[in-house]
Structure 1
Amino acid sequence: MFLKNNRNLTLFTKHSYHLIDPSPWPLLTSSGVFMLTVGLVTWMHNFVGGWTLLLNGLFLMLYIMSIWWRDVIREATFEDQHKIIVRRGLRFGMILFIVSEVMFFFAFFWAFFHSSLSPVFNIGGVWPPKSILPVTLSGIPLTNTFLLLSSGATVTWGHHAIVTKAKKHTILALLITIGLALLFTALQGLEYTDAPFNISDSVFGSCFYMTTGFHGFHVLVGTIALFVSFIRVVLNHFTDTHHFGFEAAIWYWHFVDVVWIFLLGSLYWWGQ
């Protein structure tokens, strides 16, 4: 009898937390990640079926990501489940995610400075190695810096516009930001095609391509996040006080900007 009364009290308890319904997405995400990892390893070792497993894992992950985030958007926009305390938890989660990304890039910068401050005899005891002709700072790197910093300014304009309920300005700012991001990615790809060295050319090539390549991947992810925010702005999913999805994309984009400044100063300028 006591348990029954407790169960009834639980059903009528009022609180601001969002208790999500049981979902298959975490289990399916784990399966997709496992397939992607195993497929990548088997493909690199030329096992039969590795490429197919890799593609299936990638497709499964992309599909689950779109469906899972669709559920989150529905819960936040149409079901009004994201109260103040839930949004606070989402903010903490996004902050911790960005901190983990900082640690991720810290490892690459550590490898670069460790190799450049004490170059070993295998690469001639000098930095850059004797066989490497580095990419010059002027040209594409400097142009990309201008593009990325400009995109940071336009996305901030979009944030201020949505706070002041200026929807047209928000849409225009996001379009400009996405355009600058795509131009940055295109120029980065052009730089790779014209670079006088590749990822196999000593530790310099490895550090350069791994760091700039992962930064380019983060630019691509940020571009997708901003594009989704653009669609949601058009569909009136956001208000002047409730637009954390857009805020999270902005935080991520500023993180991408800051990483590029450190990357430019180390790989393109100091390391030359």
Structure 2
Amino acid sequence: MASTQPQPHYFVPQPSKWPLVGSTAMFFLGLGAAFTMNHMEMGHYALGIGFAILLYMLFGWFGQVVGESESGLYSKKVDMSFRWSMSWFIFSEVMFFAAFFGALYYIRVISVPELGNMTHKLLWPDFTAMWPAQVAPVAPEHFTPVAAWGLPAINTLILLTSGITVTIAHWGLIKNNRAQLIWGLAATVGLGALFLYFQVEEYGHAIAHGNLTLASGVYGSTFYMLTGFHGAHVTLGTIMLLVMLVRSIKGHFKPDSHFAFEAAAWYWHFVDVVWLGLFVFVYWL
């Protein structure tokens, strides 16, 4: 039976089946994606199998890690390795979004003005070098850009508020105030879900009433690329915080040992900061 006392040495887990299970899930997901893109009926079945295996792996592997943590098998050295791992993961996400923001900068500051010079005027006389570009060669149809001071502004307020509520939850954990921890996390999860609901509403309005799609030239593609990937990250962050909420209700985490909660909070603050950049450079300017 595992000891409940923290171990003095670095924890080395036993050989595990979960990497093999995850690889199998990735195989079926890749196969299903390839079949689906080639309009083969079996692609949907392969994707379903892949997602089922992936969920089985996530529940099984994460459950094993939670059990090891609650059994006191992780020492301070393990805790430090977790912190470095999460730090590098968030850094990779920063670089991920930096590439997209860099693409947006290149398009707006270099490409669009270049297409409006005298040389390109001979090829596309109707093109006006202004953002967002509305006519050929950039956009085949006119569209309405998404205004900043509507749902995007409301979503900005929601995410900023969620950053406060997750911090309040963290303070409650440090003070060993379980009620403050749980209610702060519940509020954060609710705000994350509300953000996603409003983003779906925004997309629906932009497509139905603004004629803004992925085919709406470079504005449409960059808009949905940046906001869509951010929405995916909000979804992941909300799921992470929901798991932290369930674990908190079960009595997990201690004031001096709760890195899993901290990792989810770090990720959520990262999501908040990225949204501020999106609001300024995609919606506002």
TM-score by length of 1: 0.90
Structure 1 stretch 27-36 or stretch 248-257: which is displaced more?
27-36
- The code of the aligned residue for 1:149 comes to L
Paired residue secondary structure (1:47):
coil
Mark the runs of 5 or more structure 1 residues left unpaired by the alignment: 1-13
Paired residue secondary structure (1:141):
helix
- Deviation beyond 4 Å, 4+ runs, structure 1: 121-124
**2:58 aligns with one of 55, 58, 65:** 65
**1:114 aligns with one of 106, 112, 118:** 106
Q: State the alpha-carbon separation in 1 of the partners of residues 264 and 279 from structure 2.
A: 23
Partner of 1:50: 43
Q: State the alpha-carbon separation in 1 of the partners of residues 90 and 167 from structure 2.
A: 18
- The code of the aligned residue for 2:44 comes to W
Structure 1 stretch 30-39 or stretch 180-189: which is displaced more?
30-39
Q: Work out whether residues 36 and 43 of structure 2, in 8 Å CA contact, stay in contact via their aligned partners in 1.
A: yes
- The code of the aligned residue for 2:202 comes to E
Q: Is residue 235 of structure 2 the alignment partner of residue 207 of structure 1? A: no
- The code of the aligned residue for 2:89 comes to F
Q: State the alpha-carbon separation in 2 of the partners of residues 210 and 63 from structure 1.
A: 29
Paired residue secondary structure (2:255):
coil
Partner of 1:37: 30
**2:77 aligns with one of 80, 85, 92:** 85
> Kindly tell me: are residues 38 and 103 of structure 1, through their superposed partners in 2, closer, same or farther at Cα, counting changes over 3 Å?
farther
What is the total number of aligned residue pairs between the two structures? 256
* Distance apart, 1:124 and its partner CA: 4.5
Partner of 2:139: none
Q: State the alpha-carbon separation in 1 of the partners of residues 163 and 234 from structure 2.
A: 12
Partner of 1:167: 178
Q: Work out whether residues 8 and 75 of structure 2, in 8 Å CA contact, stay in contact via their aligned partners in 1.
A: no
Q: State the alpha-carbon separation in 2 of the partners of residues 48 and 136 from structure 1.
A: 40
Partner of 2:274: 259
Q: State the alpha-carbon separation in 1 of the partners of residues 255 and 99 from structure 2.
A: 38
Q: State the alpha-carbon separation in 2 of the partners of residues 55 and 101 from structure 1.
A: 27
Paired residue secondary structure (1:136):
coil
Paired residue secondary structure (1:165):
coil
Partner of 2:133: 129
Q: State the alpha-carbon separation in 1 of the partners of residues 105 and 47 from structure 2.
A: 33
* Distance apart, 1:111 and its partner CA: 1.7
Q: Is residue 191 of structure 2 the alignment partner of residue 176 of structure 1? A: no
**2:16 aligns with one of 13, 23, 27:** 23
The within-5 A match list for 1:3-18 is 15-18=8-11
* Distance apart, 1:132 and its partner CA: 3.4
Q: State the alpha-carbon separation in 1 of the partners of residues 47 and 95 from structure 2.
A: 27
Partner of 2:94: 102
* Distance apart, 1:126 and its partner CA: 2.7
Q: State the alpha-carbon separation in 1 of the partners of residues 38 and 130 from structure 2.
A: 34
TM-score by length of 2: 0.86
Structure 1 stretch 229-238 or stretch 42-51: which is displaced more?
42-51
Q: Is residue 263 of structure 2 the alignment partner of residue 248 of structure 1? A: yes
Partner of 1:145: 156
The within-5 A match list for 1:183-198 is 183-195=194-206, 196=210, 197-198=212-213
Structure 1 stretch 29-38 or stretch 148-157: which is displaced more?
29-38
* Distance apart, 1:104 and its partner CA: 1.2
CA RMSD of aligned residues (A): 1.4
* Percent sequence identity over aligned pairs: 40
Q: State the alpha-carbon separation in 2 of the partners of residues 209 and 41 from structure 1.
A: 23
- The code of the aligned residue for 1:41 comes to A
- The code of the aligned residue for 2:13 comes to I
- The code of the aligned residue for 1:216 comes to G
Structure 1 stretch 148-157 or stretch 96-105: which is displaced more?
96-105
- The code of the aligned residue for 2:72 comes to D
* Distance apart, 1:164 and its partner CA: 0.6
Q: Work out whether residues 230 and 271 of structure 2, in 8 Å CA contact, stay in contact via their aligned partners in 1.
A: yes
